[in-house]
C-alpha cells in the first residue's frame, strides 16, 4: 500500500516544481480523453500530456455509458460558464480503450454489465466487452449519436499494454452539428 506520507511527499515535489496557478478551468489543448481506470493506462502518461492540457474522464473499461455522457454534459456547462478561458478551435473527444482490460473478466456477469450500460442483458453482445478494437468503434458511434456540437471531433484509439503503443482505430470524425438553438454538446 502507498503510504500517505509518500503521497504528500509527491505533492510537495509537484508544488515546488510543476504547480501552475495560472492554469484555467478549460484545458489548453481542446482535448477530452475517455479512458479506463486501469493504472497501466493513464492518458496523461501515455500521451505525455502537460498539466491542464486535456480533460480526462476515466471509468471501468473507458466505456461511454449514460453516466459518462451525463458527466460530459455537466462539463460542457462548466466550460460555457468559463467561456472567456476557452481556447479557440475544434475539440477532439478521444475514446481510449486498451488490450488486456479487466472488463473482459466481467463478461460472465451479464446483470452487472447490463446495469452499467443501462441496457437489457440481451443487448450486451453489441457492446463488444472482450474486444477493445470493436468496443472503441461501438463507443465512438455512441458519441456520434449522443453529441451534436459545432467543431467537435471524435477519435477512437486502442492502447496496447504489452508494447506501450497507441493505434488509431477510428480517425478524427466530426460529430453532427449543433441545432440552431444549442451551443454545447
Does residue 132 form part of some domain? yes
pLDDT category of residue 142 using cuts at 50, 70 and 90? very high
SS3 34: strand
Q: What tens digit of pLDDT does each residue of 80-139 get?
A: 888 877 778 889 999 999 999 999 999 999 999 999 999 999 999 999 999 999 999 999
Q: What tens digit of pLDDT does each residue of 37-82 get?
A: 999 999 999 999 999 999 999 999 999 999 999 999 999 889 888 8
Q: How many domains does the chain have?
A: 1
Exposure string of 14-36, with b = 16+ CB inside 10 Å and e = fewer, is eeeeeeeeeeeebbebbbbbbbb
Give the Cα separation of 63 and 100 in Å (integer).
Answer: 15
Least Cα distance to 32 among 50, 16, 53, 54 occurs for: 54
Q: In what order do the strands lie in the sheet with 166-174?
A: 54-59, 31-36, 91-98, 152-159, 166-174
Does residue 70 form part of some domain? yes
Does residue 54 form part of some domain? yes
Where would I find the H helices in 43-105?
43-46, 66-81
SS3 150: coil
- CATH of residue 67's domain is 3.40.1050.10
Q: Does residue 185 register a pLDDT over 60?
A: no
Domain of 141, in residue numbers: 26-174
Give the Cα separation of 41 and 160 in Å (integer).
Answer: 9
pLDDT at residue 56 in the model? 97
Count each helix (H run) and each strand (E run) in the chain, helices first. Answer: 5, 5
Does residue 130 form part of some domain? yes
Does residue 123 form part of some domain? yes
Give the Cα separation of 111 and 106 in Å (integer).
Answer: 10
Does residue 16 form part of some domain? no
pLDDT at residue 180 in the model? 77
Using an 8 Å Cβ cutoff, are 149 and 185 in contact? yes
Q: What tens digit of pLDDT does each residue of 1-50 get?
A: 679 999 999 999 999 999 999 988 889 889 999 999 999 999 999 999 99
pLDDT category of residue 181 using cuts at 50, 70 and 90? low
DSSP one-letter code for 89:
S
Does residue 34 form part of some domain? yes
SS3 121: helix
Does residue 69 form part of some domain? yes
Amino acid at each position: 500500500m502507498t503510504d500517505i506520507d509518500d503521497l504528500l511527499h509527491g505533492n510537495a515535489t509537484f508544488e515546488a516544481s510543476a504547480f501552475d496557478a495560472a492554469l484555467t478551468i478549460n484545458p489548453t489543448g481542446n482535448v477530452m480523453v475517455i479512458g479506463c481506470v486501469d493504472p497501466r493506462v493513464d492518458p496523461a502518461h501515455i500521451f505525455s500530456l502537460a498539466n491542464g492540457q486535456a480533460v480526462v474522464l476515466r471509468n471501468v473499461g473507458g466505456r461511454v455509458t449514460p453516466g459518462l455522457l451525463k458527466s460530459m454534459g455537466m462539463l460542457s456547462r462548466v466550460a460555457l460558464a468559463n467561456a472567456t478561458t476557452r481556447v479557440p478551435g475544434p475539440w477532439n473527444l478521444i475514446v481510449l480503450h486498451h488490450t488486456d482490460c479487466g472488463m473482459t473478466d466481467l463478461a460472465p456477469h451479464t446483470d452487472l454489465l447490463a446495469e452499467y450500460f443501462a441496457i437489457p442483458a440481451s443487448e450486451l453482445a453489441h457492446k463488444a466487452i472482450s474486444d477493445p478494437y470493436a468496443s472503441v468503434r461501438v463507443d465512438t458511434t455512441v458519441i456520434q449519436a449522443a453529441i451534436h456540437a459545432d467543431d467537435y471531433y471524435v477519435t477512437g484509439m486502442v492502447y496496447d499494454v504489452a508494447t506501450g503503443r497507441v493505434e488509431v482505430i477510428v480517425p478524427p470524425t466530426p460529430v453532427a452539428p449543433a441545432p440552431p438553438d444549442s451551443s454545447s454538446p
